[in-house]
Amino acid sequence: MVKCYYGSSNPNLKKLNVKNDKKLYMTINRTYALIYATYKYIDLFIDIENGTIKFLNIYPNLFEKLYKNSVGYIYSVELDEKDLYSDAPKGKRPIADSYYTLHDVKFDKKEEVNVFVEFMKLKESGLFEIVEQNDISKDYILDLKKFYKNKYIHNDMSKEEIEYFNEYLPDLIK
């Protein structure tokens, strides 16, 4: 049996149905579930091969601004290893230690977590790192701005995404 985790901002999940999604993705690494325990529209996390996660702080204090008061939920379930599949090439570690199952999943446990506090614990233990703006390529930040501005201009964002960007990252879409 393998313990699998699923992060969500939904406090009321009891199970996931495969008929809705065809594949149900989960991770065997609680740290990765933490990323998804609160829904944020911008993904600045990088999966490092050894299981460490880095956050690209493209603006000063962005990580704190986005996650300081975020509450999320980490669900877990024990699954039979033979029911887990990977999209990774044979013999390679899947990105974010993610696996999928083709069966409905009923969770065994739900944890309510303060996402910021959990990440700070991981930082202390060396499993999480915040990369500051001056250590990030200016070209990367410019490409990110172009990407989100293009999504905004071409109406490829939901109403919620637009509200989120207007509140936290207006210069990425304007």
Tens digit of pLDDT for each residue in 129-146?
A: 999 989 988 898 888 888
**4 close to 24: Cβ distance less than 8 angstroms:** no
Q: What residue ranges do the domains of the chain occupy?
A: 2-136, 137-174
pLDDT in tens, 105-124: 889 899 999 999 999 999 99
| E strand map for the chain | 2-8, 15-16, 24-27, 45-47, 53-57, 71-79, 98-101, 105-106, 109-114, 128-132
Burial of 132 from C-beta contacts in 10 A (0-12 / 13-18 / 19+): middle
Mean pLDDT of 27-34: 86
Q: Inform me whether the pLDDT recorded for 96 exceeds 70.
A: no
Q: Inform me whether the pLDDT recorded for 41 exceeds 80.
A: no
- d(C-alpha 138, C-alpha 112), whole Å: 37
Dihedral of CA atoms 38, 120, 30, 26 in degrees, nearest 10, equals 30
